[in-house]
Amino acid sequence: MRVIVVGCGKLGSGLAKALMRKGNQVTIIDKDASTFELLGSDFKGETIVGSGFDRDVLEQANIRRADAIISCSKSDEANALIGKMARDVYHVPRVISRLYDPRRAEIYRSLGIQTLSTTTWGIERAMEMLSYEKLDSVMTIGDGQVEIIRAETPALLVGRTVNELTVYGEIQVLAINRSNKVFLPSQGTVLHQDDIIYISVLASSTNRLKTLLGLD
């Protein structure tokens, strides 16, 4: 996966190193070249000095071929702008922005830009976000403790009931979009092919959900 990280502070450098260890192609951007020292001598990705919302810099980072961009500079305004540019102008499939203001975070999540906070939790959460394939995060609640996930019904669950995708206290199906009509299911509702399922899941149960959906 080709990933661009904007901002080489504790979160950005930690993400860049974690992504590289997973075998991803990483490019990291920062206005201050000295911050790249946080990456260590074994970092094999590309480093670019410049502003993350400068189009020339983004083009240099090959954003048109990027699979994901994570903007984690110290500025909410810059991170939000970069996320919006990546989503609307360059159509990057996965866009994550670090936003400190929860009011802004909710607005940008509604626009399809995933958001995160706090450094240690942020690295783990961003790695989880990037690992999703057929899952789409709609919103998070309680600083990421609960997440609402949107997913297509996998083949292995077609013809099964909602009950088989329920783990009490951890995972619950909230709604189903079927043929552009949304309804609230019961535990006995049968899942159909092409259903879009909205699921609430505890952050600690994300891997369990992926197992139930056959995505692990």
The pLDDT score that the predictor gives to residue 120 is 46
Supply angle C-alpha 143, 145, 148, rounded to 5: 100
- Choose among 50, 74, 76, 75: nearest CA to 63: 50
The pLDDT score that the predictor gives to residue 159 is 93
- Choose among 148, 154, 134: nearest CA to 199: 148
What percentage of residues in the chain have a pLDDT greater than 70?
84
The pLDDT score that the predictor gives to residue 210 is 86
Kindly state the tokens that stand for 179.
């043929």
User: 100 or 62: which carries more pLDDT confidence?
Assistant: 62
The pLDDT score that the predictor gives to residue 56 is 95
Range 39-59 average pLDDT:
93
DSSP code of 192? -
Reply yes or no on whether the pLDDT at 214 is more than 70.
yes
Cα-based distances in Å from 173 to 41, 151, 165, 209:
46, 11, 7, 11
Given pLDDT bands bounded at 50, 70 and 90, which one contains residue 48?
very high
Q: SS3 for 90?
A: coil
The pLDDT score that the predictor gives to residue 118 is 57
The pLDDT score that the predictor gives to residue 172 is 94
The one-letter code for the residue type at 28 is I
Alpha helices in the chain (DSSP H): 10-21, 55-60, 76-88, 102-110, 119-131, 206-212
- Choose among 115, 78, 79, 110: nearest CA to 94: 115
